[in-house]
Amino acid sequence: MANGIVCVTQNGARSCCSCLCFRSVRVVVRTTANFTREVEDEIQNVPGHFAMHPQLVANGHVYDFEQLSSELNVAVDAFNAR
């Protein structure tokens, strides 16, 4: 295989076809949440910005939404603990 083309010779006849290239995509989820709380008779709005660890997504390797949910829960808990 050269340059993504597969050539096969069978019974003296040569046939070529293009090859499917396997590629992956790095997915990074970033989100913003607005946290609201009441402190001493006033309401505070505090924005929180979160970025999750990148995941590689490819044919046969789907995005792991459970990992996303877990990372987001940990990040929000850490944000609220401050």
How far apart, in Å, are the Cα atoms of 13 and each of 1, 7, 10, 16? Answer: 17, 10, 5, 10
Residue span of the structural domain in which 64 resides? 22-80
Is 13 part of a structural domain of the chain? no
So what's the pLDDT on residue 66? 93
Q: Is the pLDDT score of 1 beyond 50?
A: no
Which amino acid is residue 59, in one-letter code? N
Which amino acid is residue 29, in one-letter code? V
In 1-82, the DSSP E strands lie at: 5-10, 13-18, 24-27, 30-39, 42-51, 55-58
Split into its structural domains, the chain has a count of 1
Is 72 part of a structural domain of the chain? yes
Give 21's pLDDT tier (boundaries 50, 70, 90): low
Give 65's pLDDT tier (boundaries 50, 70, 90): very high
Q: Give tens-digit pLDDT for 24-43.
A: 888 899 999 999 988 888 99
Residue 3, classed as helix, strand or coil, is coil
So what's the pLDDT on residue 25? 86
